[in-house]
Amino acid sequence: QVQLQESGPGLVKPSETLSLTCAVSGGSISSGSYYWTWIRQPAGKGLEWIGRIYTSGSTNYNPSLKSRVTISVDTSKNQFSLNLSSVTAADTAVYYCARGLVNGDLGYWGQGTLVTVSS
């Protein structure tokens, strides 16, 4: 069964870049028709879709974040990454990675990692 695990700094300073990695185990990130996705959730609030990447490198981003987001994939390490630039306190949230079907559900999620933006 596929498992996903987020990692990265828990504290980022305002105006800097948030960088997270999602390690995939239990299967190759290159196999199957899946999109590898990032979602975030501010404390006590709902879920926000950030964007996704296919193993070909094709990406889709939420227009609300598009100017600041980059998602990349490293098939040799079986992982994908999120970079969010020029962060502010509003970017403080739990960040989840997930595996999604091309036009479907998000069947598998990581446990999430809290990122706080503060000086």
Partner 1 sequence: EIVLTQSPDFQSVTPKEKVTITCRASQSIGSSLHWYQQKPDQSPKLLIKYASQSFSGVPSRFSGSGSGTDFTLTINSLEAEDAATYYCHQSSSLPRTFGQGTKLEIK
Chain residues in the site for partner 1 (CB under 8 A): 37, 46-49, 51-52, 60-64, 96, 100-101, 103-107, 109-112
How many whole angstroms from its chain centre is CA 15? 19
Residue 105: Cβ within 10 Å count? 9
Q: How far is the CB of 81 from partner 1 (least distance, A)?
A: 18
Please say which residue, 16 or 112, places its beta carbon nearer to partner 1. Answer: 112
Find out whether 20 and 95 touch, Cβ atoms under 8 Å.
Answer: yes
In the complex, the smallest distance separating the C-beta of residue 89 from partner 1, rounded to whole angstroms, is: 21
Nearest distance in Å: CB 62, partner 1:
4
Unique residue bearing structure tokens 């990675």: 97
Instruction: Tally the residues of the chain.
Output: 119
